Structure 1
Amino acid sequence: MHRAEAQLSTSENVGLLRTKDNYQMDVNAQDLPNTGVRSDSPLNKIHHYHVTQNFAPDIMHDLLEGVCPLELKLVVKALIDKRLFNINLLNSRLVSFNYGSGDNQNKPCIFSASSMTNPDGAPGQNAAQMWCLIRHFPLMMGDLVPEDDEHWELLILLLKCMDIIFSPVISRGDTVYLKHLIQDHHQHFLELFGNARQLKPKHHHMIHYPMAIQKLGPLTRFWAMRFEAKHNFSRRLSHIVCNFQNIAKTLAYRNQMLLCYNLLSQLSLVGDEVEIGPGSSVLVASITDSDVVHIRLRLGLYDEVFIVQTLNQIYYSRRVYNLIHTDWIGHCGIPGSMV
């Protein structure tokens, strides 16, 4: 598909999908402006592999570092221009919002006035922060926006698409529904911003998601989020050591040392050691469902136990703990004195 057509396309055209035959014709044509192919890919030399049969997209870069930052800034700017709220109120709610224990480590950064004037600039959030922000944004600011606001509708359509795209289990019927959701979203985007901008290439990638899911399964199995997390250690280290001669050797050596340290220090890999975090001593009678704890662990109601929030570096909130602690204790076989 030509770039000019892709910028306005809202649905997949099966007749234009690349195959081995038409790809080779474009390679032989040597006409980059019209075919989009400069030369044959070196990856095609791999046995049983061809680039036209690789359907795995990267939803982290496409959505969390592409479509989401752009559309969120466009929508926020439009709502601010409508005087529904201002950037100071938005930032105050970002800072004071309760993200919960699951997203506490991924709190988003505040918005700057310059980011509103340049939506295509740097997102200002990393992928995890953007995922946290866009999921919670309707809860933060929804009470200030009318339900029938057209810019707000664009954000809701994007979130509906992401609910399916990021789902760990997807049915075939969900992919059909996703196809229509993406089409509605892209059409609505062009209706709102078509005079000033067109669809980005990462918007176009979304059109092929239903087909990719049908061929591969949930796309979270193929995204780059875990690779980025793994590379974070090397990226930070490269700024610290300031080695400009052989940075690859330095990073390889440091990663080897980190692996050795983890293997030697993590006794839980070879034993049953339990690492307990900070906590407090309480009476069994003061615990929720104390009668269940009394029976299951054979403790007296006035026996003293030590309650912790972290176990083996995993944080357990009090609400979840009160619901599952009895079954969890029985399953792990933790002694009553270490509850």
Structure 2
Amino acid sequence: MSATYMYNCSMCPYFGKTKEEILQHLVRRHKNEPKFKVHCSKPGCGSSFNKIRSFSQHLYRKHSSDVLSEIESDEEATTEEMSFTCEDISNEELTPEQDRKRSEAQFLLKMIADHNLSQRAIEDIITSTKLMLNEQSNMIKLELSKNIPENIFLQLDFNQIFRDASFCGLETQHLRERYFRDKLGYIKPVPVKLGSEFIQKRLKQKYRFVEKEHYGYYIPLFQQLAELLKMPEIKDELNKETENTFEINDFYDGSYYQKQYFQDHRNALLFCIYYDDFEIVNPIGSHKKKHKLSIFYWTLLNITPEFRYKSAATQLLAIAKATHLKKYGMKALFEDFIHSMQELHRGKVLTINGEIQTVYGTLYCVIGDTPAAQYLGGFKEGVGNAEKPCRVCEVSLENIDYSFSDRVSKLRNEEEHRDRCGILEELKGKTLQYWSKKYGVSRRSELLDIPEFEVTKCILQDPMHVLLEGIVKLELQLLLTSFIEKKKYFTLGDLNRKIKNFSYTVEEGADKPQVLEKKALDIKKNFPMSAVETKNFMTLLPFMIGNEIEEDDENWKNFIRLLKITLLVISPVASSNTIMSLRQLIYSHNYSFRKLYPEVLFTPKLHYLIHFPDQILKFGPARNHWCMRMEAKHGLFKNKKWKNFKELPLSVALHHQRWMCLQQCGSNGKTEVYLYTGDSVSYGVEWHVQQLSDTVRNTLLIHNPEFEAQQVLQSNQIEIKGITYRPGSVLIEDYAEGDIAFLIIKHMFIFNNKKYLECSRLEILFYDRSVNAFACKVVSENETVCICTQDLKYKWPQIMHSINGTIFIMLANVDFCWD
């Protein structure tokens, strides 16, 4: 069998000979998958599509004249010679009836979990479909009776044929839930009694006191783990070897990972849990916080940072009403998790895909906002009511104003903390209140029962809440008040016009800063921007007003320090340069803040800032510690329209588990695209090889020694693991101590699933401290370099904007800052 090329499915190992075969396969196997994405496999193309219809139109418009696989003879093209396909798996594991029922169940699950249809709507769909098929059955019977001999016609059981193809065995909610559990890996939440109270209830014309029990819900950890470890991508992530580098790229590169347990069990599962209170509705007035929920998630730190906090990779641990959790505590809710961690520490035998494995693991860290983190660790939630307001060090409340370095305050000792918790358990009344306030500890945390976990070290500070939701908003209010009302650099109207008329990039435009009202500058009120909007406003403010500020303005200098601190802390890469720079910048910033704004209270978040260098040194880049992506998962519940609020925690848990079951389902078992569906490539123009510059052709030959293609795809947008590249994006070509080189993308090409960037070099004119950016110009439009995206050291595009015709580039997502 000879072929120009075969059509291969990017979601499973299927190969087809014709366009029709690949399209039929996608409709039959993958149309109900939640992460549908298909790539054109024609050499020189590589475009990606999220809809079958778009892919079909692309094939018939762009590749309609291609010569596909031609069978030279029946002897040469046999079934045995065909490549491994999805259909091969299906025929071995499922009968046609079972395969059809699975497809129907997955369709119903998609309607319930992805499109938020009610159980009543699902049953209406089933009933209507049955009626439609019955009518079609009668019509087909009538037509066939005219053309088929009577003795053959009577042998056909049309009712049985259409009954088997119409959701048989899935008619009721009970049957559907049972099928989801037995065949698709659905895990049902388990209720646990948190406590009870006596309430007045009218019974037989009289009011009586009756006991009302309050429940929370948890998801059995080992059941979740067994399903998760069946994912092919998760298996690959666990078997991935880590490289020893001088950079700090992840938890494995931190000093805390050098503990003996982790060195003895290099493949141990490292768990991270997150806790938050949120509302799925936005009530006003007296009903505010009526439906507030406390939710716990967990994820595996063994997963690559790019995919670790994706909604599908983040599992539900437990959920309860916030009022019930605060009243009765979290001991009962966490009992399964604590017990599971203890078993995993010793080694737990699990059966995964029929293979018996001994799995090790433990809780590695906890993330959350300050009140949530304090509660999980057993510390005072209201840090203003504690003499020791920091869970990391022993700094006192009266000395917190002058703690500008982490080397000044003594760190909390884990053994001493456990002793203090033991003392508090024996005390009562005012004595308990006194020592609780003295220690800054409310109770003994349930997390202390987890082996290898240290509450004084492993409950991490969150960059999003400490910086973007805290210090940055406060300093923006103080800075703008000073510039507008005291120094008269510009007016609020001038600033708002700049915010409106600024030339935002596509990414910045999705979360561009809001126009500010006068009350937004009042420090007693909240700054009206989300965390992402605040981050964008902070980084773009120098481009907006930097040239209007006096060169020696101390307020502006301190803001630039805070900008550098923020960019270093939220960077996905770090090194020893990061640690040293942060320590110096944080000390200078906090010291200057105290002098510049003496009328403002020195908030605890300014103190928490000093612990970030040590946290990065121990646990890796702080971007991997923030709650941004975890909070984004709340949207799964907020976007659903809830009508019944009775036993809301159960409803939310059920919705999540159905959705998670859908994410893990594939056409024949567990999905191959659980974490990543592949790079996104926008279709552009096919370039003939002769149109390429010598630089691009030479680079293609280096990476593809047998390069013989006639055409390559030129695209205007490429997304690789969440990083988007476009013509005009600026990248770092090289960085050496005291020297840096920038590139600006001119064209982007795709060949053999690799992405190549043709770039022009930029010449640095000078570094502008007032803007915290480099002024640059293009060296030559004709002189270009070509780089494969795999070879980039700093993969992230830099922040680039033009001021008065000059290109200014601000460093971002790097491990160093410039000064």
Please confirm whether the aligned pair reaches a TM-score higher than 0.5, indicating the same fold: yes
8 Å CA contact 2:681, 2:719 repeated in 1: yes
Higher alpha-carbon deviation: 73-82 or 55-64: 55-64
**1:233-277 C-alpha deviation (Å, 9 max, x unpaired):** 22343xx32432132333334445545666679x9949x999886
Task: For structure 1, list consecutive stretches of 5 or more residues without a partner in the other structure.
Answer: 334-339
- For residues 66-77 of structure 1, the aligned pairs below 5 Å read 66-77=470-481
Residues 289 and 102 of structure 1, relative CA distance in 2, 3 Å threshold = farther
Partner of 1:51: 455
Counterpart Cα distance in 1 of 2:696 and 2:452: 59
Bigger strand fraction = 2
Deviations 1:127-148 (A, max 9, x none): 1111111111111111211121
How far 1:63 moved relative to its partner? 0.6
Compute the TM-score of the two structures, normalised by the length of structure 1: 0.79
Determine whether 1:102 maps to 2:524.
no
Q: Kindly tell me: are residues 315 and 224 of structure 1, through their superposed partners in 2, closer, same or farther at Cα, counting changes over 3 Å?
A: closer
Whether the 8 Å contact between 1:12 and 1:208 is mirrored in structure 2 is yes
Residue in 2 that maps onto 1:336: none
- Aligned-residue sequence identity (percent) comes to 26
Displacement, 1:205? 0.7
Q: Given that residues 414 and 456 in structure 2 are in contact (C-alpha distance below 8 angstroms), is that contact kept between their aligned partners in structure 1?
A: yes
Residue equivalent to 2:468: 64
**Residues 322, 50 of structure 1: alpha-carbon distance in 2 compared, 3 angstrom cutoff:** closer
Are 2:569 and 1:165 aligned?
yes
1:329 equivalent in alignment to 2:751: yes
| 1:275–1:23 CA distance, 2 compared to 1 (3 A) | closer
Asked if the contact 2:519–2:525 (Cα under 8 Å) also holds between the matched residues in 1, the reply is no
1:213 aligns with 2:616: yes
Which one of the candidate residues 427, 443, 461 is aligned to 1:39? 443
1:19 pairs with 2:413: yes
Choose from 645, 650, 653 the match for 1:252: 653
Three-state SS of the structure 1 residue aligned to 2:443 is coil
Give the AA of the match of 2:650.
Answer: K
Question: 1:66 is paired with a residue of what secondary structure?
Answer: helix
Q: Which of 398, 405, 429 is 1:4 aligned to?
A: 398
Bigger Rg, which one: 2
Question: What is the alpha-carbon distance in structure 1 between the residues aligned to residue 512 and residue 672 of structure 2?
Answer: 30
Letter paired with 1:317: R
Contact 2:466/2:608 (8 A) holds in 1? yes
Structure 2 equivalent of residue 337 of structure 1: none
Instruction: State the distance in 2 between where 1:43 and 1:268 align.
Output: 35
Q: CA deviation at 1:183?
A: 0.8
Name 1:193's counterpart in structure 2: 597
Amino acid at match of 1:58: D
Judge conservation of contact 2:405–2:587 (CA < 8 Å) in 1. yes
Report SS of the residue matched to 1:226: helix
Counterpart in 2 of 1:93? Answer: 498
Deviation at 1:47, TM superposition (A): 1.9
Change (3 A) 1:255 1:212: same
Matched, 1:146 2:146: no
After TM superposition, give the deviation of residue 80 of structure 1 in Å. Answer: 0.4
* Counterparts of 2:436 and 2:660, CA distance in 1: 46
Q: CA RMSD in A?
A: 3.7
Q: Once the 2 structures are TM-superposed, how far is the Cα of residue 77 of structure 1 from its aligned partner?
A: 0.9
Deviation at 1:42, TM superposition (A): 2.0
Find the partner of 2:588 among 164, 171, 184.
184
Aligned: 1:317 with 2:729:
no
Amino acid at match of 1:144: E
Tell which deviates more after alignment, 306-315 or 93-102: 306-315
1:306 offset after TM fit, Å?
9.3
Show the 5 A alignment for 1:118-129. Answer: 119-129=523-533
More helix by share: 1
Q: Is the 8 A contact 2:582 2:613 kept in 1?
A: yes
1:235 equivalenced with 2:635 (yes/no): no
